[in-house]
Amino acid sequence: MNNRIIVGMSGGIDSTVTALLLKERGYEVTGATLRMLGTDNDRECEYAAQIADSLGIKHIVADCSQTFRKNVMDRFALEYSQGKTPNPCIACNDRVKFPELFKLAEENGCDRVATGHYASIAAYTAIGRYTLKKAADQAKDQTYFLYRLSQYELSRLVLPLGELTKEQIRSYARERGLKNRDKPDSQDICFIRGRDYASFIRDEYAYESPPGRFVDCNGRTVGEHKGLINYTIGQRKGLGIALGAPMYVADKDRATNTVTLVPDDRLYSSELIAEDACFTAIERLDRPMKVGAKTRHTRAESPATVYPEADGRIRVVFDAPHRAIAPGQAVVMYTADMLLGGATIISGVNV
């Protein structure tokens, strides 16, 4: 491989430090900013170009706004309107960000791609496979969002921040006088931009979610909801209904346009079914395996056993009941600090 590398640059501190670290290691770095939101991204693209210029590296911008809208925004709005809870960052990495970066690498004669994700590449030469290892900074680990990376992508991907903590990265940036050294991390989903999910879907897609019935676990009507898109699994606040005891959203059924409310102790599942499984550390799941499973990025792992099912589905059985499993989210599985793979949750199985 040659020493030319494409670095995905957003203008934030993580991608900036990634680019500078690689330049200091002797790579010929080209910063690439993906213009995902059309003209709404102009300021970010200009800022990233300024950062690249301050580092003394080439910078390019690629417009992928149509691909992003089709594969991320449209998909998010559709699935959320169907009562699911999709994860747009996983879809973006899988369908937009990494395909576009590797396309740019090929067009610019670069053999490698790098990003500022918090994870490390692990190569298992004995079995000829690559996977990811959790980041040294567990609070920043992003392997959950990367489980769909292909073997080709993993073989040519460089992740310099995997062995560093956030504080080490900020210290490095301060020592080198980087202009964005104190820039705060982005927290929102990029296309939401301060809105709630329901407002985004109404604003962008003129979709009105009709009111319907709140029901209890026995199907008895207990009130009226304001539309499925206004609720998420596990939600307690903002229901607009008083039932004499704390109640939580357990299910959203588009077919009947009902939202099921239950007390906290009815919010737990003993197992889940997931589809579209993708494995990195192994070629396929052909036997049950003990894993640590995460059903949301912000949740701790739960001990579980994963079983292969038909048609690319898996069944994850938890050692202890698991709270508020949301269809549409990802279940991502680990063995120790190694990423095993993940899948999209179809449903939980109540205790």
Cβ-Cβ contacts under 8 Å for 182 (sequence gap 6 or more):
170
How many other CB atoms are found less than 10 A from the CB of residue 156?
18
Closest CA to 230 of 250, 256, 201: 201
- Give CA–CA dist 98/236, Å, rounded: 36
Residue type, 312: G
Looking at the chain, list the stretches that DSSP marks H as alpha helix, in order from N- to C-terminal side: 13-24, 42-55, 65-68, 74-81, 88-92, 98-107, 151-155, 166-175, 197-205
Give me the catalytic one of 45, 190, 217, 278: 190
SS3 at position 154: helix
- Give CA–CA dist 282/263, Å, rounded: 39
Whether 45 is catalytic is no
- Give CA–CA dist 16/33, Å, rounded: 12
Please state whether 44 falls in left (phi above 0), alpha (psi between -120 and 50) or beta. Answer: alpha
Cα-based torsion angle of the residue sequence 133, 134, 140, 146 in order, rounded to the nearest 10 degrees: 50
Q: Counting Cβ atoms within 10 Å, is residue 138 exposed (0-12), middle (13-18) or buried (19+)?
A: exposed
Cβ-Cβ contacts under 8 Å for 89 (sequence gap 6 or more):
145, 189
Give me the catalytic one of 45, 64, 89, 92: 92
Position of tokens 């079914």?
Answer: 273
The alpha carbon of residue 57 and the mean position of all alpha carbons in its chain are separated, in whole angstroms, by 29
End-to-end CA distance of the chain: 52
- Catalytic site residues? 92, 190
